[in-house]
């Protein structure tokens, strides 16, 4: 019995190692062109020109290249000197960010176009294929493709301040 348990643990570790090699912890958004045009649709827009921002509300859908974002409310901060240049997108009311191979969800989101960072906060879940990681905060660096999930303080989320995950293991013949 003990040998069977050790064999199962060893097989599980080998499967996770194979998964890590097959799917490096690099986001599919690595190299995403944050200079590409940003298309936004919503039920309502309020432009606050003096504050250099626009607020979109109601089924907001954002597309930039292969990246999409869906949220209830989006504040777009921009610079208007010499034409409008978007600097930052702040999303609230539940946020879903999708790439061709990944989906990330959270309560709030910030896309800093200048720093090329996407941050999701609150009840974060990152899914790729059959694998899933949950935590309190996700930061995706679009330059390096590095995705980091933090557990947050204990007692704030269901995981007790820890990052949790479930990973698919490639099926092998016996």
Confidence category of residue 157, pLDDT binned at 50, 70, 90:
low
- The whole-chain average pLDDT of the chain stands at 82
Please provide residue 31's backbone torsions phi and psi, each rounded to the nearest 5 degrees.
80, 10
**Rounded to 5 degrees, what angle do the CA atoms 28, 58, 107 make?**
50
- For the chain, the domains span 27-166
Q: Band the pLDDT of 124: cuts 50, 70, 90.
A: very high
So what's the pLDDT on residue 155?
60
Reduce the secondary structure of the chain to three states and give it as a string.
CHHHHHHHHHHHHHHHHHHHHHCCCECCCCCCCCCCCCEEECCEEEEEHHHCEEEEEEEEEEEECCEEEEEEEEEEEEECCCCCEEEEEEEEEEEEEECCCEEEEEEEEEEECCCCEEEEEEEEEEEECCEEEEEEEEEEECCCCEEEEECCCCCCCCCCCCCEEECCCCCCCC
**38-to-6, 52, 74 alpha-carbon distances in Å:** 52, 16, 13
Q: Which CATH architecture has domain 27-166?
A: Sandwich (2.60)
Q: The tokens of 142 are what?
A: 């679009």
Tens-digit pLDDT profile for residues 72-95: 999 999 998 878 889 999 999 999
Tens digits of residue pLDDT in 51-74: 999 999 999 999 999 999 999 999
């Amino acid at each position: 019995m003990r040998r069977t348990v050790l064999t199962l643990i060893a097989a599980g570790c080998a499967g996770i190692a194979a998964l890590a090699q097959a799917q490096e912890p690099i986001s599919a958004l690595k190299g995403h062109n944050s200079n590409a045009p940003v298309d936004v649709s919503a039920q309502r827009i309020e432009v606050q020109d003096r504050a250099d921002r626009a607020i979109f509300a109601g089924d907001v859908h954002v597309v930039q290249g292969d990246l999409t974002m869906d949220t209830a409310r989006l504040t777009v901060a921009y610079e208007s000197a010499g034409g409008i240049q978007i600097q930052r997108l702040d999303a609230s009311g539940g946020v879903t960010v999708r790439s061709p191979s990944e989906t990330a969800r959270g309560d709030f989101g910030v896309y800093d176009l200048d720093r090329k960072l996407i941050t999701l906060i609150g009840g974060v879940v990152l899914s790729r294929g059959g694998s899933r990681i949950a935590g309190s905060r996700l930061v995706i660096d679009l330059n390096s493709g590095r995705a980091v999930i933090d557990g947050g303080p204990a007692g704030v989320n269901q995981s007790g301040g820890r990052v949790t995950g479930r990973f698919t293991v490639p099926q092998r013949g016996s």
